[in-house]
Amino acid sequence: MNGLSRPHAAMNAMLRLASRVKGPPPAVTASLAVALFAPLLVLLKRRLISDVDRRHPRASWATICAFADDQIGEAEAGRGPSRNVAVETRYRRYTEWCASRGHSGVDLVLATALWKEVGRRNGKAVRVALEPNIVPYHTEAGIEHWVMWYDPALVPGSTDLDPSAFATHVRAFLDVGDAECCCFQNVPERRSVPQVAHAHVFLRARRPETAAALAQLRAERRLRSPWAEAERLGGRGEEVGF
């Protein structure tokens, strides 16, 4: 193909065709342009998604669970979930947006999270919040990345959490089976938000009732989140669940 990729060759062909079309009214020209370029845009979007997946492979359920069992060993072997470039860009945008409003991301979490009491620890109540991760790891379709935050007024941010309690705490928000939930707390050197103890929660809806409960939690989060609304108004609502 003379060194051209398929998307580029398709674009050149459409441009040549468009250049031979002369004289129709503006409305007709606009309709023709849409008809010509809409398929190309779909093709380019698929190509971009494919390129991203090659550079940042989507983590499978087995990959995530293996990482939960042995973070250090899996990381040293170059395995485990990671974020792609688009999500890292969103993270920077989120940080800048919070700063422009005079607060941090942690402040926003503490102000807007839906907290539930899940027991007691050392004589004190334990409250947790289960929220969608706004900068999720790149995972296979059907896997959702959430975060379970522990109220820092009751559980210090430096606390090493009890992994055996994660699934029970998740079930304070929705009924999930063992095969639908995989959780881990990052080892200390990998904790990017040390002010608040938290666990990464990966969920996959194997049952219709799980899918419905997750959809309800996402909808409630959108109503509480000024960040989600800002993204929607900025034309990026799809990125935050709209």
Cα separation of 204 and 181, whole Å? 7
pLDDT over 90 at 186, yes or no:
yes
Cα separation of 142 and 187, whole Å? 26
| Eight-class DSSP state of 195 | T
Q: Which of 182, 183, 181, 176 is nearest to 161 (CA)?
A: 183
| Eight-class DSSP state of 139 | B
Which whole number is the average pLDDT over 183-208?
A: 95
Q: Is the pTM of this model over 0.95?
A: no
- 212-221 pLDDT, tens digit each: 999 999 999 9
The more confidently predicted of residues 5 and 153 is 153
pLDDT over 90 at 127, yes or no:
yes
pLDDT over 60 at 108, yes or no:
yes
Mark 103-118 as b/e (b = at least 16 C-beta within 10 Å). Answer: eebbebbbebbeeeeb
